[in-house]
Amino acid sequence: MTKKVGVAILGLGVVGGGTYETLVSHHDFYLATQQVDITVEAVLDKNLERLRSLKVADEIIANSIEEVIANPNVDIVIETIGGIGVAKDFVTKALREGKTVVTSNKELICKYSHELEKIARHNHCGLYYEASCVGGVPIIRTLLDGVQANHIQRMMGIVNGTTNYILTKMANEGADYQEVLKEAQKLGYAEADPTADVDGFDSTYKLSILSSMAFHTKIPYTKIFREGISKIDTCDIAYGKEIGYTLKLLAIGKRNENAVEVRVHPTFIPSSHPLASVNDSFNAVYMTGDAVDDVMLYGRGAGALPTASAVVSDVIYAATHSEIRYSTFKNNATAETNVKFISDFTSAYYMRLSVEDKAGVLAKITGIFAKNNVSIVEITQRMDKVEEGRLPLIIITHQTKENSVKSAVAKINASGIATVESLIRVEA
């Protein structure tokens, strides 16, 4: 039996516009394959020129959120505005009216899913957000369905296209960070404020959502260790490459019993790792479950149609399931008291030091590492790069506590014999 579903789209920018076009162009396909007759009953966007370019009929252009939610033909409200100002207000109003909401808004879900889901439950409507993380890659559905038989032990994701594009260009062309950032902005990958991408906030929001689902407990984004890519020097990418590493901005989540480790930072991974070949603006999430072992999902994490694919899949899901699905964690927006967040995590490290080329320097440096319990795997003096009596020293450590490494770095910098120019974590 065919089910009739009316939707409203709030915000017809890149994602909202792509969603509108997909719903219109695929209408008959969804009718034939899912027996669902989805019509766009209302759109809300101040940019009339944009609505004209999308050929939106005048009669479905609404003037206010009140008009949208009062429309009895609207069953599902799609929020593709972004941010947490107006979007939060509109989503709250729609849920209070009992309308199911589908959103692509990672910041909103990361910060307010608990509050919004409570309103949804109270009003017997759904809140779905596949498009909030990793664009068209069906990661949320996979976490909720595909790997639900597992305890997820670890996830590592390349969840930001802008930074992956920048790091790929820096690696392949030896290009400078600032130069490539400008290109990424021109291509429209970057957020309106690119610091959200390059300083790792965007990845942090996504990791908060994904790790909360994977670990069945709310992981507040404030608990996530964050370091962006803006200080990455192209020379480190090249040195890493020579010793078999590829640099990626990784969102890492690990759970062992009640201990959780969550961090976003530039990471060297072996060039043979599947994530190392995820290039340009592509995204991927690699996770390990106790039964399934390793699983990797790969695809486009941004863009009009890839993100619309995720939005529309939520619309179809909501339209074809009578049972509403809520999150798998019950704790509120703060972390559960029995979950311990590990800030002094363990990792291997890559370091580049600038040292004077003279007797005794190496002994002093290794002495400081030894005193701080930092064990070295490999040390390379780049004699081919001597400049004004100084040269780069590349050091790779064994698995070490973050605080031990930081303490050794502070002592080396204070000693006057060397400067630690870069410190990059290494994951296997």
Give the footprint of ligand HSE on this chain (CB under 6 A): 135, 160-162, 189-191, 197, 202, 301-302
The size of the chain, in residues, is 428
Residue 287: Cβ-neighbour burial (10 angstroms; 0-12, 13-18, 19+): buried
Cβ 79 to ligand HSE shortest distance, Å: 15
Smaller CB distance to ligand HSE: residue 299 or 392? 299
As measured in angstroms, the least distance from the Cβ of 421 to ligand HSE is 27
Q: Which stretch of DSSP H or E encloses residue 20?
A: helix 14-25
Nearer to ligand HSE, 151 or 226 (CB): 226
How far does CA 397 lie from the centroid of its chain?
28
Please pick, among 99, 106, 169, 206, the residue that the annotation labels catalytic: 206
Which lies closer to ligand HSE via its Cβ, residue 82 or residue 289?
Answer: 82
- The 3-state DSSP class for residue 79 equals strand
Which helix (H) or strand (E) element contains residue 363?
A: helix 361-371
Torsion on CA atoms 220, 221, 223, 226, rounded to nearest 10:
170
Does 401 qualify as catalytic in the annotation? no
Is the Cβ of residue 43 or residue 304 nearer to ligand HSE in the bound state? 304
SS3 235: helix
Per DSSP, the three-state class of 50 is helix
Smallest separation, CB 10 to ligand HSE (Å): 18
What are all long-range contacts of 185-190, with beta carbons under 8 Å and residues at least 24 apart?
187/281, 188/14, 189/161, 189/162, 189/165, 189/281, 189/302, 190/162
Nearer to ligand HSE, 191 or 421 (CB): 191
Instruction: Using the minimum distance from each CB to ligand HSE, give the nearer residue, 205 or 349.
Output: 205
Task: Please give the structure tokens belonging to residue 184.
Answer: 């990424």
What's the CA gap between 117 and 127, in Å, rounded?
Answer: 7
Distance CA 49, CA 44 (A): 13
412 Cα distance to chain centroid: 34
- Alpha carbon 278 to its chain centroid, in Å, reads 14
What's the CA gap between 314 and 132, in Å, rounded?
11
Token digits of residue 112: 């307010």
Q: Report how far Cα 258 is from the mean position of its chain's Cα atoms.
A: 23
Q: How far is the CB of 188 from ligand HSE (least distance, A)?
A: 9
Residue 61 per-residue DSSP state: B
Q: Least distance in Å: CB of 107 to ligand HSE? A: 10
Q: How far is the CB of 22 from ligand HSE (least distance, A)?
A: 17
Shortest CB 156 distance to ligand HSE, Å: 16
Task: State which residue, 6 or 194, has the beta carbon closest to ligand HSE.
Answer: 194
**What gap in Å lies between CA 149 and CA 362, rounded to an integer?**
51
What is the rounded CA–CA span in Å between residue 119 and residue 241?
50
Instruction: Report the distance separating Cα 376 and Cα 355, nearest Å.
Output: 17
Smallest distance from ligand HSE to CB 50, Å: 19
Closest CA to 293 of 150, 158, 427: 150
Identity of the residue, 289 or 303, whose beta carbon is nearer to ligand HSE in the bound complex: 303
Residues taking part in catalysis: 206
